[in-house]
Amino acid sequence: MSAPATPASATPAARPIRRVAILFAGGPAPAANAVISTAAAAFHRDGIEVLGIQNGYSHLVEFGPENPMKEGRDYVILDQAKLRRTRNTRGIMIGTARTNPGKDVAHPSHLSDAKRTAPMKRVYDALMSLGVDALVSIGGDDTLKTANKFKMFQDYLPEGSRRIAVVHVPKTIDNDYRGIDFTFGYFTAVETLAGEIRNLLADAEATRGYFIAECMGRSAGWLAYGAAIAGEASLVLSVEDVEEKFGAEETLTDPKTGVTSTRKIMNIDKVVDVIVKLMTAREAAGKEFGVVVLAEGLAQYLPASHLEGARFDEHGHLSLASTNLARTMVKAIEAEYKKRTGKGKRVTGLQLGYEARCAQPHAFDVMLGSQLGVGAYRALVENGLDGVMISCSGQLNLFYVPFETLVDPETLVTVVRFIESGSDFHRLARFLENYPHD
């Protein structure tokens, strides 16, 4: 994407910055430490002290007179000694968590409700107790949503109250972020999962079997498609494909109210049909093996009967790992294959993703993460901005995207970026599908 100039709606920060807090929330991603350490080093050059908030918002929301912030437990001082040679390291040096202080705020009107904003108030008070002038938020779309709510919450503070400027660095191995071409960690995750798929292909060929690999990607198919392309999978399907050709509708009745509603679901029979046709076409070409990649986001489109007892996180998202999409599909595929051919076929389902989140970061992700970290410094200190997401395009050119262009103004929910049907990236995956050819 092109790098637009920062729109005028980005709010200027109100005061000089002397102390900054860096916070990471949500799932891990390779090159997280490149962002954290490079951002901290950039602030140090201006004599600005940097605090690393431990474990996302989990300690901040517990702040109070009886539970003050404690160094070592709730935060660490990110000095030069702690940053030494950390840019290429695995994991997250300040930890993470999915605690959501804005979970009760679902509309701008809720920001005037003291009860709904109480967790946000504790976050504000905790940061104020540490003398923080600005917050660098690093995380996925839910963390961006929280950063935006925190900025908006401060609009309702009494006149004359100190403000904490906030900027956000986009993080997700899913790469489903609006406002940036690629998120840090995506390519490392793709390569890690592609390696797994290549291993599965060798196993499948040796045993004349199939693997159904459920690949991380809650909302969109970027990770599944990337891993399938790089790993030479036989077929890849994601949420975008449900919207395009595998969709159906299900009518549900609430047992308490009697109210009926409809929801979009995946037509499992159609998906199974495509996969079994793949298997028989490859078999006719002398290939009795293969790997099919399914994005885990397809699980949210399973019929309600498959989702009974499902778990949800603090942001209201279905726990996709607990649905075991791959296992559900394996049973249906085996049955349909036997029905059509009269033969049994070894089909194994498994889930891929967690092994990629803390993989050793590749050079590109370290470079991208480092630039985004520097971008957080430049947005706050050099440009005096508040309420922007740091972004890169082209030759790692920095630009800054105001929160309000990324978040629905009514629901305060971030807008997911899907793979565009018919885009060259989408067409590449379809072109490389290897049935009946490789």
350 — pLDDT class (breaks 50, 70, 90): very high
Do 51 and 75 share a domain, yes or no? Answer: yes
Looking at the structure, tell me whether residues 351 and 244 fall in a common domain.
yes
| Residue 430 confidence (pLDDT) | 84
For residue 190, with 0-12 CB atoms within 10 Å meaning exposed, 13-18 middle and 19 or more buried, which class applies? buried
DSSP class of 312:
B
CA distance 402 to 35: 20
List Cβ neighbours of 379 (8 Å cut-off, separation of 6 or more): 167, 385, 388, 390, 400
Predicted confidence band at 254 (pLDDT cuts at 50, 70, 90)?
Answer: confident
Q: What is the CATH number of the domain that holds 368?
A: 3.40.50.450
> Which among 271, 176, 249 has a CA at the least distance from the CA of 217?
176
Same domain, 153 and 67: yes
Q: What is the pLDDT of residue 323?
A: 62
CA distance 301 to 297: 8
Mean pLDDT estimate for the chain: 90
How many domains is the chain partitioned into structurally? 2
What is residue 389's predicted lDDT score, i.e. its pLDDT? Answer: 97
> Mean pLDDT, to the nearest integer, of 34-39?
98
What's the CA gap between 182 and 113, in Å, rounded?
37
Give the pLDDT confidence score for residue 312 in this predicted structure: 56
State both tokens at 373.
Answer: 């970290």
Say yes or no: 208 and 325 in one domain: yes
Please indicate, yes or no, if residue 6 is contained in any of the structural domains.
Answer: no
Q: Is residue 416 part of a domain?
A: no
pLDDT of residue 250: 74
State the pLDDT confidence band at 246, using cuts at 50, 70 and 90: confident
Residue type, 147: A
The verdict on 157 and 264 lying in the same domain is: no
Tens-digit pLDDT profile for residues 324-336: 788 889 999 999 9
- Examine residue 323 and state whether it is found in any structural domain, yes or no: yes
Residue 202 covered by a domain: yes
* 247 against 6, higher pLDDT: 247
Task: Read off the pLDDT of residues 127-163 as tens digits, 9 standing for 90 and up.
Answer: 999 999 999 999 999 999 999 999 999 999 999 999 9
Same structural domain for residues 289 and 177? no
Task: Place 318 in a pLDDT band, splitting at 50, 70 and 90.
Answer: low
Residue whose C-alpha is closest to residue 247's, from 263, 265, 272: 265
Contact 168, 410 (CB under 8 A): no
309 confidence band (pLDDT: 50, 70, 90)? low
Query: CA dihedral defined by 268, 272, 274, 276, rounded to 10 degrees?
Result: -170
Q: Are residues 205 and 277 in the same domain?
A: yes
CATH number of residue 283's parent domain: 3.40.50.460
φ, ψ dihedrals at 257, nearest 5°: -105, -20
> Which has the minimum average pLDDT: 101-110, 213-222, 312-321?
312-321
Q: Is residue 5 part of a domain?
A: no
Same domain assignment for residues 366 and 344: no
Residue 411 lies in a domain: no
Per-residue pLDDT tens for 172-211? 999 999 999 999 999 999 999 999 999 999 999 999 999 9
Please check whether residues 114 and 170 belong to one and the same domain: yes
398 located within any domain:
yes
Cβ–Cβ under 8 Å, residues 203 and 413: no
Question: Tokens standing for 187?
Answer: 């390519």
335-350: buried (b, 16+ CB within 10 Å) or exposed (e) per residue? ebbeeeeeeebebbbe
Global pTM value: 0.89
Q: Tell me whether residue 437 is in a domain.
A: no
Among 20-29, 310-319, 423-432, the minimum mean pLDDT is found in 310-319
Please, which residues have CB within 8 angstroms of residue 437's CB and are 6 or more apart in sequence? Answer: 285
Q: Are residues 398 and 270 in the same domain?
A: no
Residues 101 and 236 in one domain: no
Tell me, yes or no, whether 73 and 126 share the same domain. yes
Domain limits at 370? Answer: 11-183+361-405
DSSP alpha helix (H) spans, 74-233: 80-83, 118-129, 141-154, 186-207, 222-231
